[in-house]
Chain A
């Protein structure tokens, strides 16, 4: 028996449910030496903004227990340069490309980006990054995120929904009181799927210098350290909303990937683990297939939300 790994995320059909998370895979070119990129379920691009962004001052990363902090600040060349210089490589992959976009200036920029992406045939879906903790710091304090407010979340998703028929994925922040409240707002506004979770806002200090390890003080925590939080949020959202969930947060091996499906994720994204082992996503994908075969489960759909309580 060969288990069926295909899943649907809105109108988007994936041949397997293993994707790579935005910001951890560049524009895929960087990984082509290590793996057959065609085997991926989908690639989510590094987040693109309307205008080029130079990003935050370095240092931008530091290691933390079982994870890392980053404060890149969405460095990217802007949508037009992306289309001209990065998209041609992505087009050739034969893998669904999910365009991660973010706004530096309210819902209007999301609408402008969505309109532009809507015209690109190869854009399989649009991921709304309304949860990056690294732009708009307020005098060294973390920024207020769109996805920390259900009304603001609704407004952005709804505005974008009106201008594109493409599959819309809304990526949410774990730095909230109730994840299901925000997920429901995104669902009500017409999102096709929810991506959970973006990094957690965090910080680290060099005690000798008494200085923050990141130049902008706070950053986003990722890696296995955040996995239990991510998993719980996927489980909570799965019980509250009907939309498919793309689960991520500290997945580094087959077992941690399976946890997310069982908790309710329809697909998963590999993030920080790509830095440690560039071909981990492919290894996890084949491990999921073996797990399903070994347990005589006909397809991944049967595993989703199968937690026994």
Chain B
């Protein structure tokens, strides 16, 4: 991990309240693994005082044919003072950024394996790290399940499709795709596959806590391996303060260092 001043090369709203920021940080980009995050100092004042963690959404610009990753991309929604300030930062300005941080997804079990199926489960903003993961996993059988409250909040459908996923959508109000929870879609997908027994499923999920809890329950029931990415309030982001711990079967673990990605069955 490194700490550096990195230049913003793009920072615009892309849908509703959702923003997309691209930062020039080759030293971070080349070491980043899906599920890892960066910790950004958003202002030079005391408000907000602490850094804010952002999941790495993508590296480089594969679509433009960049071979060596030079940039990292983050997605954010304006939810408070920090993200409000970030939305006001302009192209060409610099951000004090630390990364890549944390323990990302272990995708070696599905990567390039022909007998496995990758199931990505994203709730709301949870799409962010899963797009990066989807772009890394070369295996053909990939399903992305995107959950949102309403159609306007369905994110990254195109990115998942472009990276080879079969995309299914669930919205609470039924304005797009399946009406209901994304975890219900997950259950259906697993049921279909369990009849054929052709492929071994692997679940990777990111989203709100209740969704992740439901994913863990379903994964357990259907005996499928699942990794989940947790979001906790962090102070240091580098494993020193022990502020962001989550309860696991082997005691408290740091979301910032031991996580944010954990085996679903280890979390209590």
Please list the residues of chain A having a beta carbon within 8 angstroms of any beta carbon in chain B.
23-26, 30-31, 33-34, 46, 54-55, 58-63, 65-68, 70, 72, 75, 223-224, 272, 274-279
A26-B241, A58-B232 known; 20 new pairs, CB 8 Å cut-off, are: A23-B241, A24-B240, A30-B257, A31-B238, A31-B240, A46-B242, A55-B242, A55-B245, A58-B246, A60-B244, A61-B234, A61-B235, A61-B243, A68-B49, A68-B50, A70-B235, A72-B243, A275-B237, A278-B236, A278-B238
Contact A68 B235 (CB under 8 A): yes
By a CB distance below 8 angstroms, the chain B residues around A59 are 232-233
Contact B46 A224 (CB under 8 A): yes
Contact of A24 with B241 at beta-carbon distance under 8 Å, contacts A34-B3, A70-B235 already known: yes
Cα distance A67–B48 in the bound complex, in angstroms = 9
**In the complex, which of the residues A33, A67, A70 contacts B241, with contact meaning CB atoms closer than 8 Å?**
A70
Contact B245 A275 (CB under 8 A): no
Interface of A is mostly: loop
**Does any Cβ of A come within 8 Å of B198's Cβ?**
no
Contact of A33 with B245 at beta-carbon distance under 8 Å, contacts A59-B232, A275-B240, A276-B41 already known: no
**In the complex, which of the residues B232, B241, B247 contacts A275, with contact meaning CB atoms closer than 8 Å?**
B241
Show 9 A/B contacts (Cβ-Cβ < 8 Å), sorted by A: A30-B236, A34-B3, A34-B98, A59-B233, A65-B46, A66-B47, A68-B50, A275-B236, A277-B96
By a CB distance below 8 angstroms, the chain B residues around A279 are 3
Instruction: Name the residue in B41, B239, B243 with the highest tally of chain A Cβ atoms < 10 Å from its Cβ.
Output: B243
By a CB distance below 8 angstroms, the chain B residues around A63 are 48-50, 233
**Does any Cβ of A come within 8 Å of B51's Cβ?**
yes
Contact A61 B238 (CB under 8 A): no
**Chain B interface bracket (under 10, 10 to 19, 20 to 34, 35 or more):** 20 to 34
Report the nearest A residue to B50, measured CB to CB. Answer: A63
**Does any Cβ of A come within 8 Å of B251's Cβ?**
yes
Contact of A26 with B235 at beta-carbon distance under 8 Å, contacts A54-B251, A58-B246, A63-B50 already known: no
**In the complex, which of the residues A26, A75, A277 contacts B239, with contact meaning CB atoms closer than 8 Å?**
A26
By a CB distance below 8 angstroms, the chain B residues around A24 are 236, 240-241
Contact A275 B242 (CB under 8 A): no
Cα distance A278–B237 in the bound complex, in angstroms = 10
By a CB distance below 8 angstroms, the chain A residues around B234 are 61
Contact A25 B1 (CB under 8 A): no
Please list the residues of chain B having a beta carbon within 8 angstroms of any beta carbon in chain A.
1-3, 41, 46-51, 96, 98, 232-247, 251-252, 257
Contact B252 A54 (CB under 8 A): yes
Cα distance A223–B50 in the bound complex, in angstroms = 10
By a CB distance below 8 angstroms, the chain B residues around A277 are 3, 41, 96
- How far in angstroms is the closest Cβ of chain B from A47? 11
Contact B246 A274 (CB under 8 A): no
- How far in angstroms is the closest Cβ of chain A from B122? 24
Contact B98 A278 (CB under 8 A): yes
Cα distance A275–B241 in the bound complex, in angstroms = 8
Report the nearest B residue to A213, measured CB to CB. Answer: B233
- How far in angstroms is the closest Cβ of chain A from B264? 18
Q: Which 6 A-B pairs have the closest CB atoms?
A: A61-B243, A26-B240, A275-B236, A30-B240, A66-B46, A61-B235
By a CB distance below 8 angstroms, the chain B residues around A34 are 1, 3, 98
Instruction: Name the residue in A24, A75, A275, A279 with the highest tally of chain B Cβ atoms < 10 Å from its Cβ.
Output: A275
- How far in angstroms is the closest Cβ of chain B from A269? 14
By a CB distance below 8 angstroms, the chain B residues around A72 are 241-243
Cα distance A68–B2 in the bound complex, in angstroms = 24
**In the complex, which of the residues B1, B51, B233, B243 contacts A276, with contact meaning CB atoms closer than 8 Å?**
B51
Instruction: Name the residue in B96, B237, B245 with the highest tally of chain A Cβ atoms < 10 Å from its Cβ.
Output: B245
By a CB distance below 8 angstroms, the chain B residues around A54 are 251-252
Contact A276 B50 (CB under 8 A): yes
By a CB distance below 8 angstroms, the chain A residues around B96 are 277
**In the complex, which of the residues A26, A33, A46, A65 contacts B47, with contact meaning CB atoms closer than 8 Å?**
A65
Instruction: Name the residue in B46, B51, B235, B257 with the highest tally of chain A Cβ atoms < 10 Å from its Cβ.
Output: B235
**In the complex, which of the residues A25, A66, A70, A274 contacts B243, with contact meaning CB atoms closer than 8 Å?**
A70
Contact A275 B3 (CB under 8 A): no
Cα distance A30–B254 in the bound complex, in angstroms = 13
Instruction: Name the residue in B46, B238, B242 with the highest tally of chain A Cβ atoms < 10 Å from its Cβ.
Output: B242
Instruction: Name the residue in B47, B49, B251, B252 with the highest tally of chain A Cβ atoms < 10 Å from its Cβ.
Output: B49
**In the complex, which of the residues B236, B239, B245, B251 contacts A58, with contact meaning CB atoms closer than 8 Å?**
B245
Cα distance A48–B250 in the bound complex, in angstroms = 20
Cα distance A58–B245 in the bound complex, in angstroms = 6
Cα distance A279–B2 in the bound complex, in angstroms = 11
By a CB distance below 8 angstroms, the chain A residues around B233 are 59, 61-63
